[in-house]
Amino acid sequence: MNDFIETFKKIVNIIFDFLQKFLISIFVFCWKVIVFIAQHWLAFLFIFIVLYFLNSTRKDLKYKRKCRLTENAVRTRFGYTIYLTAPIRTGKTTLMSGLSHILTSVLIRLANGVRNKTKRVLVESDFNQIDRQIERCFSEKKNIDETCNYLLENNAIGIKDFVYDPVDRELSYYNMLEDYVRASYSLLTNNYVYSAKETPFYNRITGNYRKKMDFTSMQLKNAYDNEKFIISDYSIILEDEKGLDGNKKESKYMTVAKEDDGFSEFLRIIGNAGRETIYYITTNQEAKRWVSTERNLMTTSILINEMEIIPVGMFYKRFLSLMNKIVQFFYTIAIKLRFKELKRQVYINRPNVFKRLNLKIVDMERRLFSKSVVRYKVSLYDNVDDVGKKNTTSNIYCEEMELYLPLLYCLGNIDTHQYAFIFDELRKKSKVSMFDTMEDTQQLTEEEKKEIVDNLLNRSKTSAKSSSKVETLKKVKNLEELQDPFSEETEGK
């Protein structure tokens, strides 16, 4: 027994010595690391800054790549009629703006592609001269047919009946020339977006405002009768808040059917008749508020689930935030040392060098913020009547997607409060102003209290009388059934 105790003590002492030496070695190692860092702190600070910068740059490149993938998805997955739905103030208008910018880039590349294809086929033509003549015809406001005839008369263009193409057997030289003129006209116009007068849309790619849209041009039968059709190829038509059109509500489907204005026909043939260069985008708070005979023709229905702004350039953002804090610190110290408490607010409200310096920092922060990315989590539906339904194991209604768009494509291009003028007009015509609705300390008078009580009691009595009448009728009916002399039980008896 004594040998066992002695052996156990030796083992405990060995373990204790080992732990003591191990902890001392860890402490010495940590102390050496601290001393080394203290001696080379500038190097470690530089390494930390470089690593943070590389990580921030990696995230920025990732979001740029996702923006390119979103543009590819819009070009290949979306149709020519796009229906955006979401609750109030959840990003319908901003997404419409972002999609219009992406489609603007798509149309510009498409127009340049058509021009390059024509140049590769009509190799015997001098396109320097042809381009100058097209610009002259554009300035003279000639239409497509007049411009094509002018080119044929003034150029040695080898026009044959049909182009030998193994894919498109109906392709002709004249059609290629027409497509070349249309594409050239769209590039010369440099304006691809139509929108209503109350939604002045600004395009950051082209640097100009939208073309004013007359929506009767989309009503093909009315446009034919009125001889007024303004929609050109390579165009994007924006219509915000479709639900505000009272004549197109679901409750008035009979009226829409009687009018037969040709709008549904426009939605049916927009891809074919528009040569796959015309897009129509509209928004609504509820998908089924729009009349079904027209909304069911929308090829792409999108439900916006979430919108988030993702900042980029975090390295520069942290640096500017630090600079701002330093300026504010010295600003506070300078005010406290120079002015007494009563005069500090007077100095703060006056122009000074600290406020100017802070303004420059804020301006740089806003410029950096403009490089941000907007992420939309959306559900993509092929059937508009399925909007709002969730996927199950047995039924797949939608495709969940994430759309990444540059912030400048989405924000600041359309006035998101464009209908504020309605309330402004109501305030102008109102005979009661805000000064007539200040703090009201008056309490209810006895007569007003009595009137409220009487109204409540009268309503209660009415409902009680109606319920008692119903019960009385039920009792009478049951009594008549029991005492019916012509019932089967009475006959049997």
Higher pLDDT, 74 or 343: 74
Q: Report pLDDT for 491.
A: 44
Give mean pLDDT, residues 298-314: 89
pLDDT at residue 311 is higher than 70? yes
Buried-state track 44-69, b at ≥16 Cβ within 10 A, e below 16: eeeeeeeeeeeebeeebeebeebbee
Give mean pLDDT, residues 169-179: 77
Q: Report pLDDT for 486.
A: 45
**How far are the Cα atoms of 332, 350, 354 from residue 347, in angstroms, in the given order?**
11, 5, 11
Q: Report pLDDT for 5.
A: 75
Residue type, 420: A
- pLDDT band for position 485 (50/70/90)? very low
Helix (H, G, I), strand (E, B) or coil at 367: helix
pLDDT at residue 295 is higher than 70? yes
pLDDT at residue 135 is higher than 50? yes
Helix (H, G, I), strand (E, B) or coil at 490: helix
Higher pLDDT, 474 or 345: 345
Provide the percentage of residues in the chain whose pLDDT is more than 70. Answer: 82
pTM strictly above 0.85: no
Higher pLDDT, 24 or 302: 302
Q: H-type helices in 352-485, by residue range?
A: 353-369, 407-410, 420-429, 446-482
Give mean pLDDT, residues 364-387: 89
Backbone dihedral angles phi then psi of residue 212, each to the nearest 5 degrees:
-65, 130
**How far are the Cα atoms of 94, 102, 290 from residue 415, in angstroms, in the given order?**
10, 19, 23
Contact assessment for residue 101 and residue 234, using Cβ atoms and an 8 Å cutoff: no
Q: Report pLDDT for 487.
A: 46
Question: Quick count: other Cβ atoms within 10 Å of Cβ 283?
Answer: 22
Q: Report pLDDT for 488.
A: 47
Q: Which residues lie across from 278 on neighbouring strands?
A: 235
Higher pLDDT, 36 or 204: 204
pLDDT at residue 357 is higher than 50? yes
* Calpha distance 414→94 (Å, rounded): 8
Both tokens of 227, joined, read 């001889």
Q: Report pLDDT for 222.
A: 87
Task: Tell me the helices (H) and strands (E) count for the chain, helix number first.
Answer: 17, 10
pLDDT at residue 292 is higher than 70? yes
**Which segment, 11-15, 44-48, 459-463, is predicted with the most confidence on average?**
11-15
Helix (H, G, I), strand (E, B) or coil at 306: strand
**How far are the Cα atoms of 173, 373, 485 from residue 163, in angstroms, in the given order?**
6, 45, 95
Q: Report pLDDT for 451.
A: 84
Q: Report pLDDT for 137.
A: 93
- HEC string for 287-314: HHHECHHHHCCCCEEEEEEEEEEECCCH
- pLDDT band for position 72 (50/70/90)? very high
Element (H, E) at 246: none
Q: Report pLDDT for 18.
A: 80
- pLDDT band for position 490 (50/70/90)? very low
Q: Report pLDDT for 479.
A: 47
Both tokens of 230, joined, read 């303004």
**How far are the Cα atoms of 456, 473, 490 from residue 487, in angstroms, in the given order?**
46, 20, 5
Q: Report pLDDT for 351.
A: 78
pLDDT in tens, 398-442: 889 999 999 999 988 877 677 788 888 888 888 877 777 666 667
pLDDT at residue 100 is higher than 90? yes
